[in-house]
Structure 1
Amino acid sequence: MQAKMEQRSFIAALLLVSLAFALLLKPFFTPIFWACAITVIFYPVYRLLMQRFPKWPNLMALLTLVLCVVLVVIPVLAVASSFVNEAVTLFQKAQSGQIDLSKQMEQVRSAFPGINAFFERIGIDFDQLKERILNWLMSAGSFIAKNAIALGQNTMNFFLMLGLMLYLTFFLIRDGEWLVDLLIRALPLGDERERLLLDKFAEVTRATIKGNLVVALTQGTLGGLIFWALGLPAPLLWGVAMTLLSLLPAVGAAIIWFPAAIFLYATGEIVKASVLMAFGIGVISLVDNLLRPILVGRDTKLPDYLVLFSTVGGLMMFGISGFAIGPLLAALFMAFWQIFMREFMGSHAQAGEEPAAVDGS
């Protein structure tokens, strides 16, 4: 009896200490997550280097980290900085009247007289819609400008988090296999289940970051390049916007380039509008269908509706990191239920089993 009470007391104390430690690490959740994600992506590089130079694990881990910084961290910082600068400049021009958004929307209405009739048919007043869009654009520009100032004031904090992420990444790359084995021994879920969940974490992280992000970056880059080639304003800003929107299923980069093409038609730029429309349909929109099956794989892909809701929910809850965290949580949710169905509801409730077709005869 006393032994059982001591065991329960120890488990309660263990949970309490673990919860306190988790709260202690809460401010560092983002760098810890990205350290784990980067390790998953770049660990095959470290393993390849270790096959050639097995006696120098520290040096190979450092070399892998340097490769990560050169290929990922520096380009992301450069693009983010340019994006914020272009967004602030565009917002200031709109605020000062150099860019008259209201006039440009009126040009679109004049060029396409059927717009009013279309919106009236579906019960939307075009003037009210215009005001809402203008207010939203100004609010978005103001938000970016304010956050740019806040980021400048918190530069030290940003680079501290970046340094912590890179520092942790080094040790996760070097000691990854040992840490995974330690985690499997420590967790009381059963070794097979734990390996399945860790495999799912690695699989979805690679699919989301290496796959979906590469597809989104490709679409955003192509969109930014065609905007630049056609002489449209702020091509980097719109390229980054298309990259972010390409992360969302059923949304995509078309929400940027299609209205831009319509505006060019409205202002008489027929050749530019036609080039942009053809490039958007024939190149940008096809990238998803061509690259995603190669980089992600249909067998690891979550349903599009689940990806959409989990991505948007992740962005709302975790900020920009949510595009990866949201689908990851959705995949782990699915994995836990798959294990439950397989082990506790019998062999007929297998994970991923397609519903039987209904015979209508």
Structure 2
Amino acid sequence: MGTPYRRVAREAEEVAVQEKLERRSFILTLLLVSVAFLLLIKPFFTPIFWACATALIFYPVYRLLMKRFPNSPNSMALLTLLMCIVLLVIPVLVVTTSFINEAVTLYHKIQEGQIDVSKSFEQIRNAFPRVNSILEGIGVDIEEAKQRLLGGVMNAGSFVARNAIEVGQNTVNFFVMLGLMLYLTFFLIRDGEKLVNLIIHALPLGDEREHLLLAKFAEVTRATIKGNLVVAITQGALGGIIFWILGIPAPVLWGVLMTLLSLLPAVGAALIWLPASIYLYAIGEPIKATILLAYGLTVISLVDNLLRPILVGRDTKLPDYLVLFSTVGGLFMFGISGFAIGPLLAALFLAFWEIFMREFVHPEDMLMPPKPEDL
């Protein structure tokens, strides 16, 4: 009597072992296929990221249009994409082209001697002799600083000129990537809600955790692009305009540099307009210098305090020191896209640790899932 039962038990155990082996084999194969797919799309990481970010920013516009025309998802998604192209893509292309042209022109003028950086340095030294004494008193070698400054200017100009040539040579590749980004953006705008639900259903992290992480992704992307980037662009544009009015060479170049520096906490556009005002004092242009200094203190510097609360609103704001390190690290790792990717990774890092602390260290303080409208 015991033999059939043992045989059934043995067969059941063999089936369980087989199922366990098949499950593990499937998971391993799934991981291998997923890694292979990620390697396959790795060259398209930048357009995919910007497609996700752009769709996230413009999705509220699509949702508003769909309330008025609920039976035309394709047309409304296309209209939203056209708005994105007009408001975002075309201005970026125009500014980037002007920036490269002015940077290359300025570099060639310095290289040919039309702009004498050494002479400008000496003018500043002669205009502020007390500063020279102070620097020499603390052991600063002014001549060495001058040579390093000249070398830095030439290296920066050479870098910009070299990359400008590479951009020109890779124009076809750039527009292919841009086309892929816009193509993907269309589908992300139209099918974004379905894709989010699919991701939540597929990931084995738990629905509450997935909702939290996706909400964090949305918050930081909005805060970085809608808030920080718009504020930085506004400051750079205002700086470029005043440079143009005062007749300072290459206003677009300086405006773009002020935009990039405005993305970094504790740095800001003052790193450009303040030395420019000092230079104007040094070369005998006190009226222009005073106008630039007053404009920088009252207009450019106040934009951050006025616009950021309106644009960012309730979106999560990371500590300034974390934004600084994650932005700089992101720029080193991912290039120009790193100003958005860096803070996003930092925010996800904090979100994962927040989940760990609340669920595993203090399980009594369970996370409440975010509201659907937060996604």
| TM-score calculated relative to the size of structure 2 | 0.92
Task: Name the structure 2 match of 1:266.
Answer: 282
Residue 204 of structure 2 aligns to a residue in which SS?
coil
Larger radius of gyration: 2
Structure 2: distance between partners of 1:298 and 1:117: 50
- What is the root-mean-square deviation of aligned Cα atoms in Å? 1.3
Task: Name the structure 2 match of 1:196.
Answer: 212
Structure 2: distance between partners of 1:47 and 1:122: 62
Structure 2: distance between partners of 1:298 and 1:180: 22
Task: Name the structure 1 match of 2:60.
Answer: 44
Greater CA deviation, 34-43 or 132-141?
A: 132-141
Task: Name the structure 2 match of 1:180.
Answer: 196
From 225, 229, 242, the counterpart of 1:226: 242
Shift of 1:166: 0.4
From 116, 130, 135, the counterpart of 1:119: 135
From 149, 173, 183, the counterpart of 2:165: 149
Give every structure 1 segment of 4 or more consecutive aligned residues whose post-TM-superposition deviation is greater than 4 Å: 347-351
Aligned-partner residue type, residue 277 of structure 1: L
- Report if aligned partners of 2:220, 2:315 keep a CA contact under 8 Å in 1: no
Structure 2: distance between partners of 1:166 and 1:345: 44
Gaps of at least 5 residues in structure 1 are 352-361
Shift of 1:124: 2.0
Shift of 1:209: 0.4
Aligned-partner residue type, residue 240 of structure 1: V
From 290, 295, 308, the counterpart of 2:306: 290
Shift of 1:350: 8.7
Aligned-partner residue type, residue 22 of structure 2: E
Structure 2: distance between partners of 1:107 and 1:298: 48
Gaps of at least 5 residues in structure 2 are 1-16, 368-375
Task: Name the structure 2 match of 1:207.
Answer: 223
Structure 1: distance between partners of 2:329 and 2:288: 37
From 355, 358, 361, the counterpart of 1:342: 358
Residues 350 and 139 of structure 1, relative CA distance in 2, 3 Å threshold: farther
Task: Name the structure 2 match of 1:78.
Answer: 94
Residue 136 of structure 2 aligns to a residue in which SS?
helix
Residue 93 of structure 1 aligns to a residue in which SS?
helix
From 68, 75, 79, the counterpart of 1:63: 79
Shift of 1:43: 0.3
Task: Name the structure 2 match of 1:275.
Answer: 291
Q: How does 1:22-37 map to 2 (within 5 A)?
A: 22-37=38-53
Residues 293 and 350 of structure 1, relative CA distance in 2, 3 Å threshold: farther
| TM-score calculated relative to the size of structure 1 | 0.95
From 116, 119, 125, the counterpart of 1:109: 125
Identity, % of aligned positions: 74
